[in-house]
A and B are shown apart, each in its own frame.
Chain A
Amino acid sequence: MSTPPPGRALTAKDFTTDREVRWCPGCGDYSILMQVRKLLPTLGIPRENFVFVSGIGCSSRFPYYVNTYGLHTIHGRAPAIATGLKCARPDLSVWVVTGDGDALSIGGNHFLHVIRRNVDLKILLFNNRIYGLTKGQYSPTSELGKKTKSTPYGTIENPVNPISLALAAEATFVARSVDVDIKHLGYVLERAADHKGTALVEIYQDCNVFNHMAYAFATDKTVKADNVIYLEHGKPLVFGKNRDKGIRLNGLVPEIVTLGDAFHEEDLLHHDEKADAPHLAFILSRLRYPEFPEPMGVFRCVDRPTYDERMQEQIDAAVARQGPGDLAALLTGSDSWIVN
C-alpha cells in the first residue's frame, strides 16, 4: 500500500488504484472517474479520510478505481450503509456512487430516507436510463415506451424524475451534469463536495452499449445549446445558440419565450438556488427535453443541520447535562436491593 510522503500535495495519481478499469470502452463512467480523481486532491482532505460506498451495477465498480477507503456493497443499500458509516464516523468524507436502477428501483426507499435525513453524504447518481450490468433491461428512468430486452413491446410505466423525487424528499443540495461536459461536471462535483448535508448529483451518463446516445440532445455540440439551460444563481434563465431564448413563468407554468421586443431578461425566471422553499427548483426539475431545455447545474443548495451532526449534538448535550455515562450506576439501575 502506497502512502504519499507527508507534505507533498496530493494529485489525481494518488487517487488512482493499480487496478485496471474495466468499464466498456467509451463508457461515460470513465469521464466521471477522471473528474472525481481530479477533484479529490483539491479538497484539502487527507486521502485516508475519504470513503467511497457503492451499491451494485456498472457505476458501483467505482470504489475499486479510487485509491481511498471503499465499500462495494449490496444492490440498492449503499445509502443505508453509508449512513451508518457517516454517523459512526462524522470525521470522514463519505461518497456514495450509484446508478438509476440501484438508487431508484431496488434502493428507492433508502434514497428517499437518506435525503430526507440530510446525512452529510455526496451521492453521485449515474443515470444512463438502462440496466447495463444485466445487459439491457429498462430502468426506472427509461422513457415510456422504450423497447429493451425485457420490454420488446415497449415499457408501459412512467419514468421517475430523480431531481423531482429528491426535492420532494427535502433535498438540501441537488444538481445535474452530464458525463462528457467535463468542465461543467467538475464544477458541479466541486459544489457538491463543498455542501454540508446530502448532496445529490444526477449525472447523465452514456451507456454506449445498451443505450447509446440517450443524451445526444444534451451532448451533441450542434444541438445542445438549444436543449440544455445552464443554471446560475441569481441569473435569468437564458438559453439557445444565440442566447435569445428564455424561460418565464406564466402563473405557475413555465414557458419558453424569445427575447426581443415582447420579452426582456428581467421578465425571465431568475434562478435562486438558495430559495428557502423548493418550489422553483421543483418547477425547474419538470423541464424535460424535447418540450423544454433541460437544466444543468445546481437546482438547490440550502444550509440545514445534518443528521450526523444532530446525532452528535444530542450526545454532546447529554454528556454536558449528565456527565459521561457511569456504567456501574447504569447496571445497578434505580431499583436495586442488597441480599446479605
Chain B
Amino acid sequence: MIAEAHPPREKEVRRIRSAVIRFAGDSGDGMQLAGLQFSNASAIFGNDVSTFPDYPAEIRAPAGTLAGVSGFQINFSSYDIHTPGDRVHCLVALNPAALKANLPDLEPGGIIIVNEEAFDSIDLAKAGYLNNPLDDGSLDSYRLYRVPITRLNKEAVAGLGLSAKAVDRCKNFFALGIVYWLYDRPMEPTIEWIREKFAKNPETVEANIRALKGGHNFARATDLFPARYLVAPAPIAPGRYRAVTGNQAAALGLIAAGHCAAKPLFFAGYPITPASEILHELSRYKNFNVKTFQAEDEIAAMGAAVGAAFGGALAATATSGPGMSLKSEGLGYAVMTELPVVIIDVQRAGPSTGMPTKTEQADLWLALWGRHGECPLPVLAPLSPSDCFWTVIEAFRIAVKYMTPVIVLSEGYLANGSEPWRVPELSELPRILVEHPTDPETFQPYARNEFLSRPWAVPGTPGLEHRLGGLEKEHITGGVSYDPDNHEQMVDLRARKIAAIADDIPPIEVHGPESGDLLVVSWGGSYGSVRTACEELRQRGYAISEAHFQHLNPLPANTGEALSRFRRVLVCERNAGQFRSWLRFHYPIDAIGFTQVRGKPFPVADLVEAIELTLEGKDPNEHAAAGSRADGQRLHH
C-alpha cells in the first residue's frame, strides 16, 4: 500500500477557529453517512458542530445527474456556533455533478477533493460539462486535489472477497479517511460505529475500516496536501453530550413528556417528508409503553390522536405542510372538544408538494389561522435541532394544563440537521401535572378552572359518563347548545383561555442593548443565522439587539413593550413576511421585514447585509434580491 511506500513526514499545521466541510456525491454514494460520521467525530473531539444535510427528493435520481446530488455540510468550530455555515472551506466531490452543484458555495481559494476517476466523459456529460473542469483551468482559483479514490479504495479493501459493487460502496469511507487526516479528526468513534453497525457482516466491517484507514494513510503519506488544519475544542459547558437531529430530539421529547406526565404516549402518523423519522424513532421504543399507529392518511392520524387523548393518553401526531392542511378539520374538533393533543409540523417549502426536501418556515399562518370558525390554539417553534426536545415537552405542558391542541412548528432544516446536545438529567425535566376528575357529584364536562380549562374526564371513570362532540357546547354542562349568548360566551372563553397562556410563558428576552436603534427579530429555525449575524455585527461595533420568539401564539406578555423600545424592528424570516404581519396585527409597530424563500437556511452574510442596509435606512430586500441574482449568475458560470 502507498502508506508503506512513503514514510510520513511532518506537515505544517494551521490553526483555524472553524471550518465548513461539505461531502457531496450521488445520492447512492453514502454522503449523508460520511457527513454524519464526520460531525460525530468532531463533536466527540470537543468542537461545537452544526450540520445541514441536503438531499434530493428522488430516492435514486438518475446516477451522475445534478438532480441526484446529495450533500452533507458540517460547520465545526472552537467557539459557540449556531449555523451550518455559509461558505464551504473544503468540498469533497465524488462526481462531476457534485462538483458542479456545490462549487458556488465554496469560498474563494477553498479546498476541493475530487474522485478524479469519476470525471470521465459520460459523467462529465451528465453533469453538463463540455470540458473536464479538472483540466480546463476553471478551478485555478481553488486548491484542487485530485485523488483516484475508486482505484485506491479498491486496493485498500482488496482480498476480502467482496463483490465489485460492495468494494465500491466503501469509497465514502476512503474519502472520509482523507478528510479525517486533513482536519486531524479521531477515527476511533467511526471505527467503533462501523463495528456496531455491521456486526453481522465481518467482511463489511473490515472493508469499511480498511477504506477509512486507507484514505487516512494516503493523505498522511503523500505530499498531496501541504498542510493540515486544526480546529481546537470549543469551550463547552461540562456534561454528557450526544449528537441529535431535530426529529430525533422531537421523538425523545415525546417519550420524555410521557415520563413527565406519568402517562403512556400514543403517537399516530402518516409517512411524509421530512417528518417520518419521528414515527420511525418512536416505533422502536415499545418497551417505553409507546404506542405508534401508522394511519391510513393524515386525517386518520389526527383523528386517532384525538381519540387516544379522549382515552387519557398523551397523544401526538407529526406531519408536514400537506398533512397539516388535511389535519385542519381534526384540529378544529380538538379545539371544540378541548382535548390535549400535540401536532408537530415539520415545515417544508410549499405550496402543495412544493420542494419536499427543502426547508422553509411558511406554515405560520396555517398554524395560526388555518381552521374554520374562531379557533385559536397555541403555536410554538423550536430554535435548533436539540431544542425540538424541550419544545415538545413545553407543548405538552401547555396542552394538558389548558386542555387544547398545540402546534409545534419545526422545519426540515432542524429536523435533519444535528448538533451536540447536553443530555439532561431526569431531574432537570419538568413535571407535567395531570388531573382526571373522579367525583360524579361535582363533575361538569365544561366547568372551567382558574386557567379556564375544562376537566379531562376519561372513560372508565364511574359516574362521569358524558358526551363530547363538534357541536357547540353549553357553558359548564357541555350539552349541545344553539343559544346565541352561549355561543358568543364560548367563543370568548376559548379565546381567553389561549390568550392567558401569555402569562405562563417566559417573557421575550432582548440580546444586546435593552433599547436603541434596531431590534432584529427571528422565530423558529432562523435563530442560528440571525444570532450569528447579530453577534458578528456587534463585534464590528454596531449597537444592535435581537429577540427570538419560541412562543408564537400567544406572544410573550412583554412583546409590545420590548418592541416599542427600539426605533426600528427588522423581522427576518423564511416566508413572505408572516410573523411580521402577526406582530403588526397585535402591536402598532412599523416593523420592517427581511425575507427569503430559497429552500435553505438564511446565509449569515445575507442577514449581515440586510441589517446593515436597515441601519442605513434602506430597504433590506432590494439588496437581497440583487444578492439572489448574483447567486443565480454564480450558478450559471
Contacts and interface: CB of A to CB of B under 8 A. Distances in A.
Interface of A: 1-3, 17, 19, 46-51, 53, 56, 63-64, 67-74, 77, 80-89, 91-92, 109-110, 112-113, 311, 314-315, 317-319, 321-325, 327-328, 330-340
A327 B426 CA distance: 8
List the 8 closest pairs (A to B, CB-CB), nearest first.
Answer: A84-B304, A72-B469, A84-B307, A325-B288, A80-B303, A80-B300, A3-B463, A318-B286
B326 to A, nearest CB: 11
Interface string B314-352: 010000000000000110010001000000000000000
Contacts of A19: 479
Contact of B459 (A49, A109, A110, A330): A49
B285 A339 contact: no
B470 A72 contact: yes
Given A48-B462, A113-B300, A321 B238 contact: no
B425 to A, nearest CB: 8
Given A89-B311, A89-B312, A84 B460 contact: no
Contacts of A56: 470
B43 A64 contact: no
B465 A80 contact: no
Given A1-B443, A315-B286, A83 B300 contact: yes
Contacts of A87: 266, 291, 293, 304, 308
B571 interface: no
Nearest to A53: B307
Nearest to B258: A327
Contacts of A68: 465
Contact of A84 (B287, B311, B467, B480): B311
Contacts of B40: 335
B375 interface: no
A70 B237 contact: no
26 contacts: A17-B467, A48-B461, A51-B459, A64-B467, A70-B465, A72-B468, A74-B330, A80-B296, A80-B300, A81-B304, A83-B307, A88-B291, A89-B312, A109-B297, A110-B296, A110-B299, A317-B286, A324-B287, A327-B256, A328-B425, A330-B285, A331-B424, A332-B423, A333-B423, A337-B242, A340-B238
Contact of B289 (A67, A109, A325): A325
Contacts of B289: 315, 319, 324-325
Max chain B C-beta neighbours (<10 A), residue from A48, A50, A64: A48
Interface string B227-264: 00000000011111111100000001001100100001
B194 interface: no
A72 B337 CA distance: 10
B46 interface: yes
Interface string B140-181: 000000000000000000000000000000000000000000
Nearest to A334: B196
B241 A315 contact: no
B459 A89 contact: yes
A315 B307 contact: no
Contacts of B309: 84
A134 to B, nearest CB: 16
B467 A318 contact: no
A333 B242 contact: yes
B430 interface: no
B468 A70 contact: yes
Contacts of B315: 84, 88
Contacts of B461: 48
Contacts of B305: 84
Contacts of A112: 296
Contacts of B46: 339
A73 B240 contact: no
A337 B285 contact: no
Contacts of A69: 459, 465-467
Interface string B505-546: 000000000000000000000000000000000000000000
Interface in B40-54: 40, 43-44, 46
A335 B242 contact: yes
Contacts of A314: 286
Interface of B (DSSP majority class): mixed
A80 to B, nearest CB: 4
Contacts of A1: 440, 443, 463-466
Interface residues of B, number: 74
Contacts of B312: 88-89
Given A1-B464, A89-B459, A315-B286, A338 B311 contact: no
B482 to A, nearest CB: 12
B77 to A, nearest CB: 15
A88 B266 contact: yes
A317 B440 CA distance: 37
B471 interface: yes
A16 to B, nearest CB: 12
Contacts of A82: 307
Contacts of A81: 303-304, 306-307, 310
B330 A92 contact: no
A335 B193 contact: yes
B467 A63 contact: yes
B407 to A, nearest CB: 18
A112 B296 CA distance: 9
A331 B256 contact: yes
Given A330-B252, A339-B241, A340-B238, A70 B329 contact: no
Given A2-B463, A64-B467, A318-B286, 19 more contacts: A1-B440, A17-B467, A19-B479, A47-B462, A48-B464, A70-B465, A73-B333, A74-B333, A77-B300, A83-B304, A84-B307, A85-B311, A87-B266, A88-B291, A89-B311, A92-B311, A322-B287, A330-B252, A331-B256
B189 interface: yes
B313 interface: yes
B74 to A, nearest CB: 16
A70 B299 contact: no
Contacts of A337: 43-44, 240-242
B287 A323 contact: yes
A88 B423 contact: no
Contacts of B242: 332-333, 335-337
B235 to A, nearest CB: 9
A338 B239 contact: yes
Contacts of A334: 196
A339 B464 contact: no
Contacts of A113: 295-296, 300
A99 to B, nearest CB: 16
Max chain A C-beta neighbours (<10 A), residue from B241, B289, B307: B307
B463 A332 contact: no
A279 B120 CA distance: 60
B403 interface: no
Contacts of B291: 87-88, 311, 315
A120 B241 CA distance: 44
A276 to B, nearest CB: 26
Contacts of B468: 70-72
A338 B462 contact: no
Contact of A338 (B241, B243, B255, B337): B241
B140 to A, nearest CB: 41
A77 to B, nearest CB: 4
Contacts of B238: 338-340
Contact of A73 (B303, B463, B464): B303
B380 interface: no
B268 interface: yes
B581 to A, nearest CB: 30
B469 A88 contact: no
Contact of B467 (A70, A83, A88): A70
A71 B459 CA distance: 11
Contacts of A88: 264, 266, 291, 307-308, 311-313, 315
A110 B300 contact: yes
Contacts of B425: 328
A328 B256 CA distance: 9
Contact of B471 (A50, A72, A84, A332): A72
